Structure 1
Amino acid sequence: MKQDTGLLRTQKRRENEGRGNHASYGGTEQDGGMEQGSEMKVETSVTEATLDTQEERQQWSTPTEFLLACITTSVGLGNVWRFPTTAFENGGGAFLIPYLLVLLFIGRPLYFLELVMGQFSSSGSVEVWRMVPAMKGIGYGQIIAAWSVVTYFSYLMGLTVFYLIVSFSEVLPWSVCDEAWADENCVDASFNYTSNSSASYQSSSEQYYFNFVLHFKADISDGIGLPDWRMTLCLLFSWSVIFLSLGWGVKSIGKVVYFTALFPYVVLVTLLVRGAMLPGATTGMLYYIFPQWRRLLDPGVWYAAVTQAFFSLSTGFGVICHLASYNNFFHDVYRDAWIISMADTLTSLLAGFTIFSILGNLAFQLDTNIEHVVRSGSGLAFVSYPEVLAKFEWVPQLFSVLFFLMMFTLCVGSIQNLTGSIITIITDQYPAKSKFAITFGICAANFLFSLTYATPGGQWIFTLVDYFGGSFIIFILAIFETVAITVVYGLKNVLRDVKFMLNKDLGIYWRFSWYFCPVALLAILIYNMLYLCLPTLEGKPLPEAAYACGWTLAAVAISMVPVCLITTLYQAKGETFIERLRSIFRPAENWGPRKEVHRREWEKLQCEEKQRK
């Protein structure tokens, strides 16, 4: 058969490119009843082979670097402080059921789809839309979403640097009440709580965080104030680290991920063992997994599950496509998708057990219920955890340093890859420009934007950007993305490209999931709009002007889709309006594999399919 001949040529090319290079970390594969008899080999040396008209593109030095970079991106702050809090607020163990289902039928399929499209085209999240030129605006919208998350992630990184530095003190500063920032309601780590204690008492770690670190402003009607000089220096240091890790492209990222991907597991396991030995730890862990089955009928739980899956896996931000674009064309991303998604889920569960074991100990010492010591958002990491660290009898400074060093590495991993995706988009558009200079410019701009969060009213801005930039925008762009790829470009074409690149026939699970994704996401979005709950801070609504800014941010990001559609239509070729309209919903002439040799084989396969029809 002609199709078999084309695929045999591709397989021979795949094997030839694998010879003489480093071995892949994988072995034999089996998918849908089809076995691959020989070990998949991938190109791992940094080769620069592109179309004659395109700039050279770097590749990962080893496949392990790519895998660890993806793990670093997907396993981050969302797993350490966002997942346990979300699970706690949405039914404990019952939340795990919708979360795992969402991960199985939405998160993982979309993750694999972005990996495939990025590797197949060797392009970032804008240039990849040569497959459907009309939807190029999705990539630009993802830039705004990624930038939003990067700005407040970098602020969390600055907070982490601050706490890491003060952790080297002889006495942890939040373990005692200092008159410089504490009031008469402050109680330190040695205070003997009883059930008759006044509800107005606040822990020293809480007052230290809000009064000394944040200089928290409860009312921003007169403005958010000026940036704190200490946090400004911490942010400057943070962005210097990010710049150094990005300045030399994917090769520098590849070296950093060996540490940023593995170190958090060492710390989490260490702290879990230590936390499990504390009084009350078992109660905390049981509370974490205890199911409230009635919550399964609450649509809000499913909305939270999708939000967590997207935030955790980093799908919809363009970063996954960016990372995969530096792969060898025949690299087995099918295997990576399963490994990364499983690592993400297990890390979330590990972080949950770690944190709730310590929160259980805190509830035991305070003689109160766990719900009274859990604080959502940044409070979980910078109030509850430091408070318990201060109660460790054996070298609390050591555990504090380990924890905040872990937080720092998580921030580095998440920020460098999200920022890298933005850099890739710009360098793809302007290949003649210096990548080093572009990286410096983006890091400097992000540093200036992140200063907004270092103001006394910064927590209000943090809450606003997290809601609109980190969740709402991504929901809508993800719907556009899945419809554009599976419906407009066509699921049949996606399956053909996967077969050509990976030599795999995908089964019913992938076909069903890719059709199910946009339907499920649209249903959740409609529910969210019908029962809209705008973000609040400590139960207080934000000013109307702040909500207006949030909606403006969302509108700008989403409007990239129709604006780019109209621009592309205006530039399209064709004698009539209908011809031009049809052309922008078909793959562009330069769509396909980046290497000339792969493109020719792919085009031959397309011709053989047409002749067979």
Structure 2
Amino acid sequence: MFNGGNDTLHVPMSSVEEFWNYKILEISSGIDDIGRLNWKYLLYKVACQVIIWLALIKSIQSIGKIMYVTAIAPVVLSVIIWIRALTFPGATSGMAYFITPDFNQLANLEVWIEAAFMAFYTLGPAWGGLAMYGSHNKFSANCFRDAVFSTVMAVCYGLFNGLVIFSVIGVLSYESGVPLDKVVTSGGFSLGFVAYPQAITFFPLPQIWAVLFFIVLLLPGLDSQTIMMEPVLCVFEEIFPKTIGKKRIPLLTVVTVITFIFGIPLVSQAGVYMFQLVDWYAATWSILLIAVAESIVFAWIYGGDRLSRDFKLMLGRPLPAFVRVSSAFITPAVLTGLVVTSIFKYKPPTYGTYVYPDYARSIGWCFAIIPLLPIVLTIAWMVRNNKGSLKERFVSLMKPSVEWEPAEDTVKHVYRNLEQSYQRSVKRLAMFNLTGRGGFDKLFPESEGDKLEIKPINRNIHAEFNA
């Protein structure tokens, strides 16, 4: 079978996978063989962009309603497919293959690297979407509970989804006589497109189930793109509140058109190679580096002490010890180690048996660097426009802005007094991040005669702190 690369190979694959690659994707011989645009998929893309445009018109108000459908429907369909797959021979073998641990792989650094990348895909840290949604919460909303719940649910659904896919792969392996690890050769995102359609053929009226499946498959994709576009809109609206901030629909239209234009090459016959290239580079190292930067900024520049104070102002209790130590020490150390290791263990991207040419890899590294440029340029611009010596500029920029304060009016007075009364040092911050002592705790109001002179409007906050 022609492998889409430089030579001809006979690669064993199921009929479903062959149909996916050569009928659905109409895959070309390589990334430099663009081929023709698939006008049918271009129209699909137009429809998707229109749906996303409609979902973002009212920002969080419209997004929240869509989430009920996009989050629940895939789970329901996965359960139905799983139950149906269990009625066929081979399903239990596939699930056993999925859940059987290979402890030798724990010593394989590449496994840890891939696991980290998958965690960022699944949970979405450092992408901007979580921060954007969190900014719409009420001041006293239990963000800690929500973070724990959403993380646990995302992990559980990811594991369950893997169980469903491998139960179907087990059925494919049994019917074709191909070993489990050889059933799907394309790998990556193609796995779901191959396994689930095969499972649907076992259902009565498979055509109807196929339509439902691809509609449900479309929903998380629309969900993800909506989450990615909203932070971009928020940035422009907050930077230019008096101009662009008051013209959401024109801004949304411009961003939608730009993203559509950049996505046109993906509907060509070489689109899958381009997608894999962007996915391999742009959504890996840059995201890890941004996550490292965020953990350092929050734990060491803004400071774990300030985070704990803000946490207490919102929820009435300090930052949990595990979160404090993890954000200050474990997270930056582990992620930095993964970045360094992934660079040394770097392997060029592949799609099945196709290996990307050198120039494509160079373009990929550009994709990895581009997301980091705005951060570097913004820091350079802020340092350049600040006053004082270079050291004084950096010290000034590492302090919270005077405009930074709680959104809740009843705690603004407490916040300001705590900020003015607190004297920070590197030693004190490091001690707090490690032990939880030496921060703002002793400055919180403990009696009516406290020096902070809490206003009557803040008596409820005062009582919560004492409690």
What is the aligned partner in structure 2 of residue 517 from structure 1?
331
1:215 to 15, 21, 26: 26
CA drift at 1:393: 5.2
What is the aligned partner in structure 1 of residue 255 from structure 2?
442
What is the aligned partner in structure 1 of residue 431 from structure 2?
none
1:316-331 equivalence runs, <5 A? 316-331=126-141
Give the conservation status (yes or no) of the 8 Å contact 1:316–1:478: yes
Aligned length: 416
Inter-partner Cα distance in structure 1 for 2:34 and 2:42:
15
Deviations 1:221-265 (A, max 9, x none): 3x5234210110011111111111111221111211121122222
Matching of residue 592 in structure 1 with residue 405 in structure 2: yes
CA drift at 1:270: 1.2
The alpha-carbon distance between structure 1 residues 599 and 571, as it changes in their structure 2 partners (threshold 3 A), is: farther
1:348 to 153, 158, 162: 158
Letter paired with 1:214: L
What is the aligned partner in structure 1 of residue 432 from structure 2?
none
Matching of residue 604 in structure 1 with residue 417 in structure 2: yes
What is the aligned partner in structure 2 of residue 422 from structure 1?
232
1:14-413 equivalence runs, <5 A? 203-221=14-32, 223-374=33-184, 375-390=186-201, 392=202, 394-413=204-223
Inter-partner Cα distance in structure 2 for 1:562 and 1:377:
32
Letter paired with 1:243: W
The alpha-carbon distance between structure 1 residues 352 and 219, as it changes in their structure 2 partners (threshold 3 A), is: closer
Inter-partner Cα distance in structure 2 for 1:384 and 1:481:
37
Unpaired segments of 5 or more residues in structure 1?
Answer: 1-182, 186-197
Matching of residue 541 in structure 1 with residue 352 in structure 2: no
Matching of residue 555 in structure 1 with residue 335 in structure 2: no
Give the conservation status (yes or no) of the 8 Å contact 1:311–1:471: no
2:272 to 456, 459, 469: 459
Give the conservation status (yes or no) of the 8 Å contact 1:247–1:440: no
CA drift at 1:199: 6.4
1:527 to 341, 345, 362: 341
What is the aligned partner in structure 1 of residue 319 from structure 2?
506
The alpha-carbon distance between structure 1 residues 297 and 207, as it changes in their structure 2 partners (threshold 3 A), is: closer
The alpha-carbon distance between structure 1 residues 393 and 508, as it changes in their structure 2 partners (threshold 3 A), is: closer
What is the aligned partner in structure 2 of residue 68 from structure 1?
none
What TM-score do the two structures reach when normalised by structure 2?
0.84
What is the aligned partner in structure 2 of residue 11 from structure 1?
none
Secondary structure of the corresponding residue to residue 377 of structure 1:
coil
Secondary structure of the corresponding residue to residue 303 of structure 2:
helix
Give the conservation status (yes or no) of the 8 Å contact 2:16–2:197: yes
The alpha-carbon distance between structure 1 residues 605 and 400, as it changes in their structure 2 partners (threshold 3 A), is: same
Secondary structure of the corresponding residue to residue 294 of structure 2:
helix
Which segment is superposed worse, 398-407 or 267-276? 398-407
CA drift at 1:471: 1.0
Deviations 1:147-174 (A, max 9, x none): xxxxxxxxxxxxxxxxxxxxxxxxxxxx
CA drift at 1:203: 4.0
Structure number with greater CO (CA < 8 Å, separation at least 6) is: 1
Deviations 1:437-485 (A, max 9, x none): 1111111211111111111111211111001111111011111111111
Deviations 1:32-78 (A, max 9, x none): xxxxxxxxxxxxxxxxxxxxxxxxxxxxxxxxxxxxxxxxxxxxxxx
Give the conservation status (yes or no) of the 8 Å contact 1:373–1:384: no
Give the conservation status (yes or no) of the 8 Å contact 2:295–2:332: yes
Secondary structure of the corresponding residue to residue 282 of structure 2:
helix
Letter paired with 1:335: R
Deviations 1:537-575 (A, max 9, x none): 22332122211212122222223333211110122134x
The alpha-carbon distance between structure 1 residues 577 and 211, as it changes in their structure 2 partners (threshold 3 A), is: closer
CA drift at 1:519: 0.5
Inter-partner Cα distance in structure 2 for 1:279 and 1:597:
63
The alpha-carbon distance between structure 1 residues 200 and 293, as it changes in their structure 2 partners (threshold 3 A), is: closer
CA drift at 1:200: 5.9
What is the aligned partner in structure 1 of residue 283 from structure 2?
470
Give the conservation status (yes or no) of the 8 Å contact 2:203–2:209: no
Letter paired with 2:199: V
User: What percent of counterpart residues are identical?
Assistant: 26
Matching of residue 566 in structure 1 with residue 380 in structure 2: yes
Letter paired with 1:248: K
The alpha-carbon distance between structure 1 residues 387 and 499, as it changes in their structure 2 partners (threshold 3 A), is: same
Letter paired with 1:263: A
Letter paired with 1:546: A
What TM-score do the two structures reach when normalised by structure 1?
0.65
Inter-partner Cα distance in structure 2 for 1:362 and 1:316:
37
CA drift at 1:598: 4.2
CA drift at 1:319: 0.8
Give the conservation status (yes or no) of the 8 Å contact 2:85–2:199: no
Provide the aligned C-alpha RMSD in A. 2.3
Which segment is superposed worse, 251-260 or 556-565? 556-565
The alpha-carbon distance between structure 1 residues 522 and 311, as it changes in their structure 2 partners (threshold 3 A), is: same
CA drift at 1:326: 0.8
CA drift at 1:315: 0.5
Unpaired segments of 5 or more residues in structure 2?
Answer: 4-8, 424-439, 444-467
Give the conservation status (yes or no) of the 8 Å contact 2:49–2:256: yes
The alpha-carbon distance between structure 1 residues 411 and 220, as it changes in their structure 2 partners (threshold 3 A), is: closer
Inter-partner Cα distance in structure 1 for 2:376 and 2:331:
22
Which segment is superposed worse, 293-302 or 595-604? 595-604
CA drift at 1:531: 2.0
Give the conservation status (yes or no) of the 8 Å contact 2:165–2:195: no
What is the aligned partner in structure 2 of residue 580 from structure 1?
393
Letter paired with 1:473: S
Secondary structure of the corresponding residue to residue 470 of structure 1:
coil
Give the conservation status (yes or no) of the 8 Å contact 2:110–2:345: no
Give the conservation status (yes or no) of the 8 Å contact 1:248–1:436: no
Give the conservation status (yes or no) of the 8 Å contact 1:217–1:456: yes
Letter paired with 2:168: I
Letter paired with 1:468: Y
CA drift at 1:394: 2.0
